[in-house]
Structure 1
Amino acid sequence: MKATGIVVEYNPFHNGHLHHLNQSRQKTNCEVVIAVMSGNFLQRGEPALVDKWSRTKMALKAGVDIVIELPYAFATAQATDFAKGAILLLDAMKCESFCFGSEEGTLNAFQHTYSLLSSKKEEYNTAISNFMKQGVSYPKALNEAYKLVSLESTQPLLDLTQPNNILGYHYLEATKLFNTSIQPETIQRIVANYHEDAQVDETIASATGIRKLILDNQHLEEVQKFLPESSFQQLTEWTNTHHTFGSWDRFWPLLRFTILRHSKEQLANYAEVTEGMENAIWNAAVKCEQFETFMHTIKSKRYTWTRIQRMLTHIFTGFTWEQLAEVNFPTYLRPLGMSKNGQTYLNSIKKDLQLPLVSRVAASKDPLLQMDIKAANLYYAGLQSTISHQMIGSDYSTKPIIY
């Protein structure tokens, strides 16, 4: 059976994701679609709107065949490591290809950009370092350095100010750096840009726009047209059960408590907390009663909102620089769910897998997996609802969903 891979967060699964899924299946002519999906904390450094099990159900009901969890250490990492973890898991699942959405929409510019940056690696890295010394944020330094090294190129190159182009570039980079056999494909992102608010006259909106509507209004009717019916039903079931959604606004009392129970020096031990940010974080937590106020207090031109949120995620979950230094590659495959078709495929490759397949987490002592379990428990604690508190520890008892 021919399998293609996709890398997703599905926060939540919407009509744009359905388009990507269907186009991926069509473009690669595959029989199986495997999604590597982030768990309960995401790449932009924030809690997921709903947990990984609900998002797995959305994926399976929409047509994904297998959902594999991207471990916390990669799911909350900068783009390079996020892509590395995802691509290596898809390669381990014997995918012949993977397909990602991009603003570019064709592979040509990705290939040319990779060739350019590979050939000018030293010049590129020096330029990044020089721009960083001027006090700009890391993403801005990357972009300025990229402009500099691409001045003389006559080939079509990527616009690396676009978020999906950036991730797509790192996916392609990972396939080459780690000598995978997996073949990249891309499709054009349609209608809504990554950060756009939802538009009333469209049926496709960004996940950011959809989340904003849900979190601002705390009801689902306004987002129904942007979602497949199965996703809307799953969100309805979630809100009827939990009566709240995952967000830093919701988690702020516990996050604030976590920050303040540490000294400033202790905060510096957590991953991505650098250059005195522990002082700014602690001081703002003392003063700010609301998360939004807290973020605006510590935001600076050197650190993006996303970068700061990743620091906070690691403080909240207790993920340290020491733990981060020990993370190199994914060490297991954890299926969260699968269709009957996916089950057939998994059975056909099971004997050839080069990573252990984990379906019962209690049987594994892998430190990456233990971090996933810890993050899941803290996510449910952060939701602060009766049912979510009952779900603390549920990773040990929840079996992969068979749909």
Structure 2
Amino acid sequence: MKATGIVVEYNPFHNGHLHHLNQSRIKTNSDIIIAVMSGNFLQRGEPALVDKWTRAKMAISAGVDLVIELPYAFATAQASDFAKGAIFLLDALKCEAFCFGSEEGSLEAFHHTYHLLSTKKEEYNTAISNFMKQGISYPKALNESYKVVSEDSSLPLVDLSKPNNILGYHYIEAAYRLHASIRSETIHRVVANYHDEAKPSETIASATGIRKVLFGELDLSAIQNFLPITSLDELSRWKSTFQSFGSWERFWPILRLIILRHSKERLATFAEVTEGMENAIWNAAVKKDTFQTFMEQIKSKRFTWTRIQRMLTHIYNDFTWEQLKSFDLPTYIRPLAMSKNGQAYLQSIKKDLPLPLVSRVAAYKDNDMLALDVKTANLYYLGLQSTYAQKMIGSDYRITPIIH
């Protein structure tokens, strides 16, 4: 069986994801689609709308064959480490290809861009440092530096101001640096861009746009045009069971408590908290009673909303700089859900896997990375602040991979 890998968050699984999934299968002529998916906290530094088990069920119901969890240490990391962890797992799972959506749509431009930045690495890093000294954010410094080093190139290059192009570039970079045998493919992103509003006249909207509508309306009928019926059913079940969706606004009372119970010095020890942000975070938590007003106070030109949210994610989950530096690559493969075909594929490669396969957490002890996944899952359910969510604490020890 030929397998193709995709890297996903499915927050939630929508029609655009379904298009990407189907096109990935067609473009690579694959028998199996394997999705490496973030757990309960995401790369933009926020809690998932619904938990990893629910999102994994959405994926399998829509046609994914195997869903593997991307460990917290990579799922909540900056783009380069997020990509590194995901591509490493897909390569370990014997995928022949990985396929990502991009605004660019041309694979050639990604390879040209990687080789350009590799050959001009010193010039690029110097430019980044100079732009950072001007007080602008790291992503903007990267983009401005990219313009500097690419201005004389006549080759087709990727526009790295686009969010999906940025992630795509890092997937390509990770594959090169890991010397992975997996080949890359890309599909042009259709209709909705990452930050676009959801338009009622369309059937494809970004996950960001869908969540914005959902949080505004609190009515699933407002987003029904954008999701497969299987996703809508899972969201409906979640809402009736948990009574709330995951968001920082929902988690704010607990996050605020955690911030204020620490000293500013302690806050500085958490991953990604840097350059005095511990002071701004603590001072704003004293004054602001909503997450939105808290973020509006501390956001600056230097740090993007996403970067600050990742700081807060690590504070909430007690994840320190020391822990971050101790993790280089994923140390296990953890399936969350699979189809019958996915189960057969996994069985066929099981003996050749370079990493241990973790189906039962209780049977795999003394692994700090896995222990972190379990802890952050528990803290996610605590943040939902509903009666049923409290019963889900410890569920990583009770739930085995879903076979659908």
TM-score (norm 1): 1.00
Question: In the aligned structure 1, how far is the partner of 2:141 from the partner of 2:201?
Answer: 37
Cα distance, 1:171 vs. partner? Answer: 0.1
Aligned to 1:366: 367
Which whole-Å deviations, capped at 9, do the CAs of 1:82-134 have from their partners, x for residues lacking one? 00000000000000000000000110110111111011000001100111111
Aligned to 2:387: 386
Aligned to 1:288: 288
Aligned to 2:94: 94
Question: In the aligned structure 2, how far is the partner of 1:125 from the partner of 1:106?
Answer: 26
Which whole-Å deviations, capped at 9, do the CAs of 1:251-310 have from their partners, x for residues lacking one? 000000000000000000100000100000000000000100000000000000000000
Question: In the aligned structure 2, how far is the partner of 1:200 from the partner of 1:63?
Answer: 25
Question: In the aligned structure 2, how far is the partner of 1:110 from the partner of 1:202?
Answer: 29
Q: What amino acid is aligned across from residue 371 of structure 2 in structure 1?
A: Q
Contact 2:42 2:48 in 1 (8 A): yes
Query: 2:50 aligned with 1:50, yes or no?
Result: yes
Question: In the aligned structure 2, how far is the partner of 1:329 from the partner of 1:264?
Answer: 30
Q: What amino acid is aligned across from residue 335 of structure 1 in structure 2?
A: P
Cα distance, 1:362 vs. partner? Answer: 1.1
Aligned to 1:193: 193
Which whole-Å deviations, capped at 9, do the CAs of 1:17-72 have from their partners, x for residues lacking one? 00000000000000000000000000000000000000000000000000000000
Cα distance, 1:359 vs. partner? Answer: 0.5
Q: What amino acid is aligned across from residue 238 of structure 1 in structure 2?
A: W
Q: What amino acid is aligned across from residue 384 of structure 1 in structure 2?
A: Q
Question: In the aligned structure 1, how far is the partner of 2:57 from the partner of 2:40?
Answer: 14
Question: In the aligned structure 1, how far is the partner of 2:216 from the partner of 2:283?
Answer: 28
Aligned to 2:3: 3
Aligned to 2:105: 105
Aligned to 2:273: 273
Cα distance, 1:381 vs. partner? Answer: 0.1
Question: In the aligned structure 1, how far is the partner of 2:178 from the partner of 2:277?
Answer: 33
Question: In the aligned structure 1, how far is the partner of 2:219 from the partner of 2:388?
Answer: 19
Q: What amino acid is aligned across from residue 178 of structure 1 in structure 2?
A: L
Aligned to 2:396: 395
Question: SS of the counterpart of 2:186?
Answer: strand
Cα distance, 1:216 vs. partner? Answer: 1.3
Aligned to 1:154: 154
Aligned to 1:375: 376
Question: In the aligned structure 2, how far is the partner of 1:193 from the partner of 1:360?
Answer: 38
Aligned to 2:224: 224
Question: In the aligned structure 2, how far is the partner of 1:30 from the partner of 1:342?
Answer: 12
Q: What amino acid is aligned across from residue 37 of structure 1 in structure 2?
A: M
Question: In the aligned structure 2, how far is the partner of 1:15 from the partner of 1:70?
Answer: 22
Question: SS of the counterpart of 2:374?
Answer: helix
Q: What amino acid is aligned across from residue 194 of structure 1 in structure 2?
A: Y
Question: In the aligned structure 2, how far is the partner of 1:343 from the partner of 1:297?
Answer: 49
Question: In the aligned structure 1, how far is the partner of 2:356 from the partner of 2:163?
Answer: 32
Question: In the aligned structure 2, how far is the partner of 1:112 from the partner of 1:209?
Answer: 32
Q: Which runs of 5+ in 2 are unaligned?
A: none
Question: In the aligned structure 2, how far is the partner of 1:271 from the partner of 1:315?
Answer: 8
Contact 2:200 2:225 in 1 (8 A): no
Aligned to 1:141: 141
TM-score (norm 2): 0.99
Cα distance, 1:363 vs. partner? Answer: 1.7
Q: Which runs of 5+ in 1 are unaligned?
A: none
Question: In the aligned structure 2, how far is the partner of 1:325 from the partner of 1:181?
Answer: 26
Show the 5 A alignment for 1:231-246: 231-246=231-246
Aligned to 2:345: 345
Question: In the aligned structure 2, how far is the partner of 1:194 from the partner of 1:397?
Answer: 35
Question: SS of the counterpart of 2:254?
Answer: helix
Cα distance, 1:369 vs. partner? Answer: 0.5
CA RMSD of aligned residues (A): 0.4
**Stretches (4+) displaced over 2 A:** none
Cα distance, 1:217 vs. partner? Answer: 1.5
Question: SS of the counterpart of 1:48?
Answer: coil
Cα distance, 1:239 vs. partner? Answer: 0.3
Question: In the aligned structure 1, how far is the partner of 2:115 from the partner of 2:71?
Answer: 30
Question: SS of the counterpart of 1:94?
Answer: coil
Cα distance, 1:219 vs. partner? Answer: 1.4
